[in-house]
Amino acid sequence: MQSKKSLLVVCLLAASGLLLTNAPLTQAEDDKGAVFVMTNAASGNQIDIFVRSEDGALRAAGAVATGGNGSGGTIDPLHSQGSLRLSADHRFLFAVNAGSGTVSSFDVDGTQLALVSTVSSGGSLPSALAQSGDLLYVLNSGGNGNITGFHVGRDGRLTQIPNSTRNLSGTATSPTSLSFSPNGQFLVVAETATNKIDVFRVGSNGEAGPITVNASSGATPFAAIFAPDGTLIVGNASNSISSYELEWDGSLQVITSELATDGQATCWDVATPNGRFVFTANAGSSNLSGFEIGHNGKLSPVGNTIVASNPSGSTNLDIATSADGRFLYSLNAGTGAIGLFAIDGDGSLHSLGTLDGLPASAGLNGIAAF
């Protein structure tokens, strides 16, 4: 994000044949996970694949077309979090094709992706996704905005759920994120233009129920996520972070009202798998803030709040953690790079450098990792 508006919307070779034969096995044993990045290219969207090593380092491992077109653009054209979503069990990867109005699903086999299906998103300009069990919901941010649900087949194939489309709170809502509660019974949407947080109860048939509209405690809510204990945490583009308790009727009770991130253009956030910490990406200042999540959901800064920095001009957008909670990766759209960080036990981060080679200022959106 560049202006405030766009920023809402910013070794040695072996000497013997035996060693040469064993080298690929040694490398394979060191491969512990993967990071996926979506190009969002208007002339053919694709997913770039990176292998994660035991020490958190990444190396490029190819790319796979999504079967649709992205929106293109420069910095953060989708104005969203969650445009690329990995299933909780790492079996499937889902991506939006904003330019085509479709959603794609992939079978994940380690770092190998195979396109399974590409279906209509049920609206215009799909920009974010949420997954729970065999359910996938898409946030369509075009027009007034809506959500639409899909069943995920055993092979990852998507089938739209009849009567699952629900409108948001009103007109010109500018929705930016979609998230399932840990129990899969609620969906939450952040609306930046209205300062509203929408909650939908999800029935046993997968249909979202009527909307419950809540006022956001922090101004300009952007990224709504859940900690493992069910605390709702919202990164606000007003450079703050808030936390809430979600009640059974869809109402929200404020826990942490509006805690400053000390960064600029705070929009994206991610919680560690163990639920101890949450980090925000501050695109305007190219740095990251850290907060500890208390037992009651109350947030408190880690150290001096700013826990790590990317190189100047990085414009770090989406962020993701590895499944083991040891590493954090930021999508640096301004410089066309991935920022690599190790997560320490006290919630501080230390930089492992950057991996360059992505197209800078070319519409990159979406990162997922395991």
16 domain residue, yes or no? no
Averaged pLDDT, 248-264? 98
Exposed, middle or buried, 237 (CB in 10 Å: 0-12/13-18/19+)?
buried
Averaged pLDDT, 239-251? 98
With tokens 């798998």, the residue in question is 273
Residue 121's domain spans which residues?
A: 34-369
7 domain residue, yes or no? no
309 domain residue, yes or no? yes
Q: pLDDT, tens digit, for every residue of 197-207?
A: 999 999 999 99
**Percentage with pLDDT > 90 across the chain:** 92
**Side-chain half-sphere of 336: how many Cα atoms within 13 Å?**
11
The token duo for 239 is: 């450079």
Could you write out the DSSP letters of every residue in 23-42? HHHHHHHHEEEEEEEE---T
328 domain residue, yes or no? yes
Decide if pLDDT at 23 tops 50: no
The token duo for 38 is: 């979506």
72 domain residue, yes or no? yes
Q: pLDDT, tens digit, for every residue of 45-61?
A: 999 999 999 999 999 99
Averaged pLDDT, 108-129? 98
Averaged pLDDT, 204-232? 98
Residue 230's nearest CA partner among 249, 217, 245 is 245
Decide if pLDDT at 17 tops 50: no
Cβ atoms of 67 and 46 within 8 Å: the answer is no
Q: What is the mean pLDDT of the chain?
A: 93
* C-alpha span between 229 and 218 (Å, rounded): 21
The pLDDT confidence band at residue 31, using thresholds 50, 70 and 90, is: confident
Predicted pLDDT at 30: 64
Predicted pLDDT at 188: 99
Secondary structure (3-state) at 211: strand
* Residue 245 CB neighbour total at 10 angstroms: 14
Predicted pLDDT at 41: 98
Averaged pLDDT, 220-239? 98
358 domain residue, yes or no? yes
Q: pLDDT, tens digit, for every residue of 146-178?
A: 999 999 999 999 999 999 999 999 999 999 999
Predicted pLDDT at 25: 31
Report the CATH number that the domain containing residue 216 is assigned in CATH: 2.130.10.10
Exposed, middle or buried, 25 (CB in 10 Å: 0-12/13-18/19+)?
exposed
Tell me the C-alpha to C-alpha distance, in Å, between residue 159 and each of 171, 186, 270. Answer: 28, 20, 28
The pLDDT confidence band at residue 12, using thresholds 50, 70 and 90, is: very low
28 domain residue, yes or no? no
The pLDDT confidence band at residue 28, using thresholds 50, 70 and 90, is: very low
Structural domain total, the chain = 1
279 domain residue, yes or no? yes
